[in-house]
Every structure is written in structure tokens, then in C-alpha cells.
Amino acid sequence: MAKPHDHTDTKSAEGGAPKDEGLEYPGAVPVAADELPVISDKDLDRQRAKSRGKKGSDAAGADSENPFKGGFGAIRQVRAAAKRRAEAHDKVKSLKAELEESQKVLDHRTKIEADYEKIVATQNDALLVQGQASARAQAVIDQQSAEKSDLEGRLAQMKAEHEEQLRPYRELMESTKGRADDAAKTLADAKRQAKAADQQLGEATKRREQSVASANRSVDNSQERLRKAEGELDALKADSNASSAVVQKKQSDIVAERAHLDAARADLDRITNECKQLVDSAQANLAAQRRALESAETAADVAKREADEHREEYERLYNAALAGERELSDEIAKRDRAITSAGKEKQDADARQAEAQKLLDEATEIHATPEVSTELAHTIAQGRKELEERMKSAQKLAHEEKHLREATRKQRFLFIGAIVLAVALVALVATFVMRTL
């Protein structure tokens, strides 16, 4: 803890002469804030007397000698004093917390020592009771575990017997199910083929209608052209001015058109016969596919019915076997619940037993070491004395900081004002320069 310095024995670095007592500002700025001396009331009184003894001109000269350096030094000294006061306050707070904790420990040891006989009797009884409870719970666990092991063996044997009994029925069920699946696939294929045959018949019928209609239009168009040509030929023959060459040309056109008409009629007959054959073939294919579909449907129904019968038989036997297994499983679950409950009871009893042993050990240790309580009480008494001294020191540092602030208020305000004024002047100059550019 920093203490006020006595400046009467301090030598200067150059001449070895004693330094002047009192405040060391303006001008004498320490290297670091932690190295600054604490200014006492005595120093402040001497400084005030010295300031009042000087003439006004001397005081003005001193203030104007180096106001920036003196103001800066005053601010640093105030900050150093505030730091020392805060550190002292923190030490007081820390010591007070340590004393409170130590006092709690001492009170606890005192209470345990006062109730030692009662604590020993109570905790010994608790150890006995909880030990018996733990033993009872362990006996239940052992018994239920043995019963559970026997039931698990019986259940394993029962499952093996049921598996052996159900195997033929399961194999028969699986084989019939396979046949039913195959029959269902065959039925699906038959349905697709019947649908395709029906579509083929529809396409053949539609193609026949379109082809016959197109051939009929060709015949009709040829007949219309022939009638038109014959009419034009009759008109030419009736016209006395018509040349023989034109009449011959028209007669040639009529002969060619009759040949076209004969060819169109022949195409009509051929297309009609071909389309009829296609439609008849499609109808025959559709009839065959429908017969195959009916046969597949019958086979699929029989296979499915057989598979359902064997599946139902297997499920009935399986459920009967599962019911017997479930009874043993329920009994095993009951043992599991009993083991879990007894385990929790044992855990609780062991925890209470451990707590009782812990309290008993603590009371025994405190009773066997009274010198520890005596030493702790002595330490607390010394700590309280130290706390009182630290509190006085903290109060003294706070008082010194207050007086230092009052004594340096003018210098600090002048320094801050000068800084503000300099900043304002720089801003005005910058503004003026910017406007002139």
C-alpha cells in the first residue's frame, strides 16, 4: 500500500540538494502515474500558504510559464490518486469477503462441536437403518434376478419348440403364396394380352373403314369426271363449229377416265377383301386371348384361395404359440420392474448411508482437531484488525484525492480549456482554407 512520502530527505538528481517541499507542479511531471507521491494535507496547506504569500505578478508569471505541462501533470496526479484509492477499496472488499467466509467455517465448526454427541448418535442410527434397507433391497434384487433367469430359460425353450412345430405350416404357407403370386402374374399378363388384342381389333376395324372410304371416294371422283367428260363430248358433237381434233381429244379422255374408273373399282374390291381378312384375324386373336384370360382368372382364384387358407391356418397356430410366449415375457417384465425398483431403493439407501458417514466423519474430524478452530479464530481476529487498518488507509487516500482535486482544479480546467480552444482554432482554420479553395 502506498504511503505519503516525506520530501525533506529527498535529493535532487543533479546537485544533491533537498527538493523543495510541497506539490511538484507545474513543470515537474513524473515518468509514470504509479511513481507519483501522495500529497498529504500538510503538503496542501504549505502550498496554499506559499501561493498566498506570492505577489499577483509572480503568480501570473508562474501560471503562464508552462500551463500545458502543469495542467497535464495535475491531471496525471489526480488519476494516480484515484487509482490508489480504488486499489485500496478493492483490497478492503476482498479481505472482507475472506473474513466472512472464514467466519462461516468457524461458526460451522463451533456448531458441530457443540452438537457432537447428538450428531454421532444420530448418524450411527442412520448408518444402521440405511445399511439394513440396502441389504433388504439387495436380497430382493438377487431373488428377482434368479427368477428372471429361470423364466428366460423357459421362454427360450418354448420358442424353440414353437419354431419346430410351426416350420411345416410356414413352409406350406410360403409355397402356396408363391404359386398364388405366379398365378397373379400370369393373370396380369393375360389381361395385358387381351387388352392388346382388343386394341388391335379396334385399329383393324378403323383402318378398314378408312381404307374402304378412301377407295369409294376414288370411285366416286372417277365416275364424276367420266360423266363430266361425256357431257362435254355430247356438247361438242352438237356444236357444228367444233373441230374433229377436239372431239377426238375428248373421246380419248373419256376412254382414259373409264380405265381409271375400272382400276378404282378393282382397288375397292381388293381393299375390302384385305381389310376383312385383317378384321377377322384380329377378332379371332381377341377371342383366343379372352379364353386364356378366363383360364388365368380361374387358376388365380384357386391359387389365392388355397394360399389364404394356409396363411390363416399358420396365423392361428402362430398366435396361439405367441400367446404362451407373451405370458412368460410378461412375467419376465414383472421381474425387471421389481429389480429396477429395488435397485433404486438400494441406490437411495446407499446414498443416505454415504451422507451419514460423511457427516459422521466430519464431526469426528472437527472434534479431534480443536486446535484448527482455535487457529481459525485467531486468524479471523488478526484479519479484522488488518481490515480496520485497510479501511482507515482507504479513507485517508479518499480524503487526499479529494484535496488534490480541489487544489488542482484551476490548472486542470485551464489545460482542458486550452485543448478545446486549440481544437476549435484548428477547425476554424480548416474551414477557412476549405472555403478559399
418 in the same domain as 314 = no
119 lies in some domain: no
Question: Distance between CA 236 and CA 250 in Å, rounded?
Answer: 9
The answer on 290 and 190 residing in a single domain is yes
Q: Do 326 and 393 belong to one domain?
A: no
What local confidence, expressed as pLDDT, does residue 289 receive? 85
Residues 342, 200, single domain; the answer is: yes
Average pLDDT of the chain, as a whole number: 78
pLDDT tens per residue, range 362-402 = 999 988 888 988 898 898 888 888 888 888 888 887 887 78
Q: Are residues 203 and 331 in the same domain?
A: yes
Q: Are residues 333 and 413 in the same domain?
A: no
Q: By C-alpha distance, which of 132, 124, 123, 121 is closest to 349?
A: 132
Domain limit, last residue, from 338, 358, 378: 358
Q: What is the pTM of this model?
A: 0.43
> Is 164 part of a structural domain of the chain?
no
**Same structural domain, 395 and 431:** yes
Same domain as 395, residue 311: no
2 or 189, higher pLDDT:
189
How far apart CA 300 and CA 306 sit, in angstroms, is 10
Domain residues for the domain of 110 are 24-114+370-436
- Specify whether 52 is located in the same domain as 88: yes
Considering Cα of 306, then 311, then 314, then 320, what sign does the dihedral take?
A: negative
Least confident of 93-97, 233-237, 258-262, 308-312: 233-237
Q: Exposure string (b/e) for 48-70, b if CB count within 10 Å is 16 or more?
A: eeeeeeeeeeeeeeeeeeebeeb
Question: Is residue 109 situated within a structural domain?
Answer: yes
**Amino acid at the residue 6:** D
Q: Are residues 182 and 225 in the same domain?
A: yes
Is 5 part of a structural domain of the chain?
no
**pLDDT beyond 90 at 243:** no
Give the amino acid at 178: G
Residue 346 falls within a domain, yes or no?
A: yes
Q: Domain check: are 195 and 307 in the same one? A: yes
* Residues 182 and 294 reside in one and the same domain: yes
Question: Which of helix, strand or coil describes residue 296?
Answer: helix
pLDDT at 13 over 50: no
26 preceded by cis ω (within 30°)?
yes
Is there a domain that residue 133 lies in? no
Read off φ and ψ for residue 18, nearest 5 degrees: -65, 145
Domain holding 314: CATH number? Answer: 1.10.287
Cβ atoms of residues 204 and 278 within 8 Å:
yes
- Residue 130, domain member (yes or no): no
- State pLDDT tens for residues 286-345: 888 888 888 888 888 999 999 999 999 999 999 999 998 999 999 999 999 999 999 999
Kindly report which listed range (90-104, 139-153, 228-242, 393-407) carries the lowest average pLDDT score: 228-242
Query: Most confidently modeled of 22-31, 152-161, 194-203?
Result: 152-161
Q: How many domains does the chain have?
A: 2
Contact 155, 329 (CB under 8 A): yes
Residue after which a domain boundary falls, among 330, 358, 386: 358
- Look at residue 101 and tell me if it is in a domain: yes
pLDDT at 67: 53
Which among 358, 391, 423 is the end of a domain? Answer: 358
